Amino acid sequence: MRRTSKERLAEKIACFGNFGADERGGITRLSLSPAALDACAEFRRRCVDLGLAVRCDDMGNIYAVKQGAEDLPGPAMGSHADSVVNGGNYDGMLGVLAALEVLETMVGDGISTRRPVSAVIWTNEEGVRFPPAMMSSGVLTGKFDKSAVLAVRDSDGVSFGEALSAGGRQGDRAARLSPATCTAYLELHIEQGPVLDESGESVGVVQGVVGMCNYTISVFGQAGHAGSTPMSRRRDALYAAAGIIRRLHDELGRIEGGPVFTCGHIECRPNMHTIIPEEVSFSLDARHRDPDVMRRVVGVIAALPREPDGCRVEYREEWSRKTTLFDPALAAVVKRNADALGYANRFMFSGPGHDAQYVQDMLPAAMIFVPSIGGRSHCPDENTSLDDCRNGADVLLNAVLELADAQ
Amino acid sequence: MRRTSKERLAEKIACFGNFGADERGGITRLSLSPAALDACAEFRRRCVDLGLAVRCDDMGNIYAVKQGAEDLPGPAMGSHADSVVNGGNYDGMLGVLAALEVLETMVGDGISTRRPVSAVIWTNEEGVRFPPAMMSSGVLTGKFDKSAVLAVRDSDGVSFGEALSAGGRQGDRAARLSPATCTAYLELHIEQGPVLDESGESVGVVQGVVGMCNYTISVFGQAGHAGSTPMSRRRDALYAAAGIIRRLHDELGRIEGGPVFTCGHIECRPNMHTIIPEEVSFSLDARHRDPDVMRRVVGVIAALPREPDGCRVEYREEWSRKTTLFDPALAAVVKRNADALGYANRFMFSGPGHDAQYVQDMLPAAMIFVPSIGGRSHCPDENTSLDDCRNGADVLLNAVLELADAQ
């Protein structure tokens, strides 16, 4: 079995952690921002130094290719370089650096393969500056209309298309990842949850991404002065919404199979301490791999009381996605190599979405998770031990080499 | 008994409703804004046309004085001309226009009095643009430090002092309302609640303003990814806050005496639908005339669970005020004249605060409430029937005349 270099990987993680380091101890590297462009430029420079061909497609995705002995399609690996606001140093970037370390190991150890091996950086996975998330892999796989996403504007009024051009990232459509050039896609990513950290396993063999739904639940009451409206006359939208949030948690928590669910966003109008809330809206995000469980989640929402506490309740599905199942044969390759390396591992599903779930629609795809200490992510103390980073990179290296020599 | 003119009052209400009329069908006339300055200028012009002396004090308060036969202190009446954002056409302004109508009636009907009669417009009662509320009456009565409030800045960075100067409203300190020139203060105002509207009474004889307290309650949990954090590991600050809001309402609702209480403002951090809420803060406003009831309210807050649902709870009193009792003899004058006019009326307390409660600290003060249709206020459909407006003005007229001829 081959091994990557712990020292080189440590240097990469430290170096790329400078791109977008913010004053709050975290990483703020929004897509196509100067920090993100600098990080991609550093990736490109390092790949060129390794003698690799580097290209950019029309969605700004960057590819570094190590040629194989034969002119055949080959495996690709990668992740994204953008972050959320005040996020951590591992989400996305670790997968990019592990792919870079794999290529550097192949070059350094003089490993040649039958098929080419590629590393890819996906543009705008987080979707924070330009919604939606996973924008560029979504366009490549037909999820989103290219002209529509090019027109999406950030809070400063800059469109995604303008940001691509300004960043010199509007490349060649012919460079896109496709079945013509690629046989399989592997993405290494932090788990963003506590499962591996608590089990003490180094590697998660990801079989798929759970289905999810996202609803907005709105409660309509009546405004009134806090000092002069008798309690018996009130239709307080926040009081009613609080009851619905508690009821949702309690009832969703009783669903067999255990979906995860979150009310993470709430808006209150007029949101003044002297005015009875007139309208409160909040989000419900629920996820599970089993469609039957998701149907029961929707059933709980549909069964919400429509007129609690004198208020009126409406709900609206904002969007949903079905469970994505990764290629079982490819996941088996990952599992086999993790076992061969002697790294404790388990099959698991991803709760968060990843570019790999879109790629799966056109290519065999799978993911490699590494532990998130304390399950923390999207925050400055997001962290993964260097040993786990290296172990994940080793699994990626050996899996990719197996795929690159496949008949 | 004397009567004001319904037609003249209707014209005033319609005319002054043009100052600050906003695109949402309401009134947005923030203190010292062009709309508020225009309204005050129109008031001044009308008073000058009536042959009255008009002055402005150093806090921008405007006084129109109809001289009496003797050089003695006399009664004053008035209210405020500023509004909240997208508020209604009666809050504050009706008291100003009723005072103006009283003066116009005296001039028109050739009514002379022993003592002078004054009308006053208080600057910045709402405190929306420049907190705190009742700023200028508060400075005159020693509640606030003048230099401190002059330095308060609006969201554009303009200080109250700068706005006073720019509006030509920085007048003479000697013009301030004081016991030297004033024997009593009467303020007509809409009830801002449904009591009079539902009882069918035209007039509320206000005996005082209820005590209140305002708390911020903060709940601290832990952020985590909505898709990858097992439910058993969560410390969801919004779920916990929802439980506390429900508990507060239920327990405060059981307090004998019936305080009114409102959670009107809520903030959630990071407030993203894919992140478990890490911190939620919300306001609690509670009011009642009886100090013992207010003590029981504080007891309920103090007895809140400190670690519900795995989160940590803190609470902080932002401010509070004791119940203000208006001058009983002055309230009796209002009551007697309302009865003499044959207008159905009742003694009542005010939930909202008013400039009159500060004035009460230096002068006998009382208030006259008129019905708010449906109890609505601080919104575009805030409304009071013209008959009720006129009846209230009649009570104000006759009460002021009684005070102006007092020995």
Q: For A287, which of B227, B246, B266 is closest by C-beta distance? A: B227
Chain B partners within 8 Å of A91 (Cβ): none
Instruction: With cut-offs at 50, 70 and 90, classify the pLDDT of residue A162.
Output: very high
Interface test with B, best of A209, A216, A265, A274 (most B CBs within 10 A): A274
Question: Looking at residue B116, what is its pLDDT?
Answer: 98
Average pLDDT rounded to a whole number, residues A341-367: 96
Average pLDDT, chain B: 96
B211 to chain A: closest CA residue:
A227
What is the CATH code for B211-321? 3.30.70.360
A277 to chain B: closest CA residue:
B264
CA distance A110 to A103: 10
Contact B266/A271, CB-based, under 8 Å? yes
What the block records as the tokens of B259 is 């305080």
Domain ranges of chain A: 6-209+323-404, 211-321
Contact B195/A230, CB-based, under 8 Å? yes
Other Cβ atoms closer than 10 A to A263: 27
What the block records as the tokens of A174 is 């012919």
CA distance A112 to chain B (A): 38
Contact at 8 Å (CB) between A191 and A203?
Answer: no
**How does pLDDT run across A20-31, given as a tens digit for each residue?**
999 999 999 999
Contact A262/B274, CB-based, under 8 Å? yes
Contact B274/A263, CB-based, under 8 Å? no
Other Cβ atoms closer than 10 A to B303: 10
Comparing B151-155, B341-345, B374-378, which segment has the lowest mean pLDDT? B374-378
Chain A partners within 8 Å of B249 (Cβ): 236, 239
| Amino acid at the residue B211 | G
- Sequence length of chain B is 407
Taking 90 as the threshold, does the pLDDT of residue A200 lie above it? yes
**How does pLDDT run across A113-150, given as a tens digit for each residue?**
999 999 999 999 999 999 999 999 999 999 999 999 99
Contact A277/B263, CB-based, under 8 Å? yes
Average pLDDT rounded to a whole number, residues B126-145: 95
Instruction: With cut-offs at 50, 70 and 90, classify the pLDDT of residue A319.
Output: confident
Question: Looking at residue A407, what is its pLDDT?
Answer: 87
CA distance B74 to chain A (A): 31
Average pLDDT, chain A: 96
Contact at 8 Å (CB) between A216 and A267?
Answer: no
B227 to chain A: closest CA residue:
A351
DSSP type of residue B27: B
- On the 0-12 / 13-18 / 19+ scale of CB atoms within 10 A, A20 is buried
Instruction: With cut-offs at 50, 70 and 90, classify the pLDDT of residue A228.
Output: confident
Q: For B226, which of A224, A260, A375 is closest by C-beta distance? A: A260
What the block records as the tokens of B256 is 């004998």
Chain B partners within 8 Å of A350 (Cβ): 227-228
Residue A261 host element (H or E) = strand A260-262
Contact A225/B377, CB-based, under 8 Å? yes
**How does pLDDT run across B51-95, given as a tens digit for each residue?**
999 999 999 999 999 999 999 999 999 999 999 999 999 999 999
How many helices (DSSP H) and strands (DSSP E) are in chain B?
12, 14
| Residue environment code for A115-129, b if the CB has 16+ CB neighbours within 10 A, otherwise e | bbbbbbbbbbbbbbb
Question: Which residue from B353, B352, B366 is spatially nearest to B203, judged by alpha carbons?
Answer: B366
Interface test with B, best of A128, A218, A262 (most B CBs within 10 A): A262
Average pLDDT rounded to a whole number, residues A95-115: 98
Average pLDDT rounded to a whole number, residues A315-340: 96
pTM of the model: 0.80
- A225 or B102, greater pLDDT: B102
Question: Looking at residue B319, what is its pLDDT?
Answer: 86
B280 to chain A: closest CA residue:
A266
Q: Which residues contact B99 (CB under 8 A, 6 or more apart)?
A: B77, B78, B79, B119, B120, B188, B396
Chain A partners within 8 Å of B352 (Cβ): 225, 227-228, 274
Query: Could you tell me the CA-to-CA distances from A307 to A188, A215, B142 in Å, in that order?
Result: 47, 18, 48
CA distance A163 to A16: 21
Query: Could you tell me the CA-to-CA distances from B140 to A165, A402, B60, B149 in Å, in that order?
Result: 61, 85, 11, 12
CA distance A158 to A162: 6
Contact B265/A245, CB-based, under 8 Å? no
Report angle CA B151, B88, A281 to the nearest 5 degrees.
85
B253 to chain A: closest CA residue:
A231
Chain B partners within 8 Å of A191 (Cβ): 228
Instruction: With cut-offs at 50, 70 and 90, classify the pLDDT of residue B257.
Output: confident
CA distance A381 to chain B (A): 11
What is the CB-side half-sphere exposure of residue A162 using CA atoms within 13 A? 9
| Amino acid at the residue A84 | V
* A to B CB pairs, distance under 8 Å: 200
Question: Which residue from B150, B178, B177, B147 is spatially nearest to B166, judged by alpha carbons?
Answer: B150
ipTM over 0.85 threshold: no
Chain B partners within 8 Å of A134 (Cβ): none
Chain B partners within 8 Å of A271 (Cβ): 264-266
Which class in CATH covers the domain with range B6-209+323-404?
Answer: alpha beta
Taking 90 as the threshold, does the pLDDT of residue A257 lie above it? no
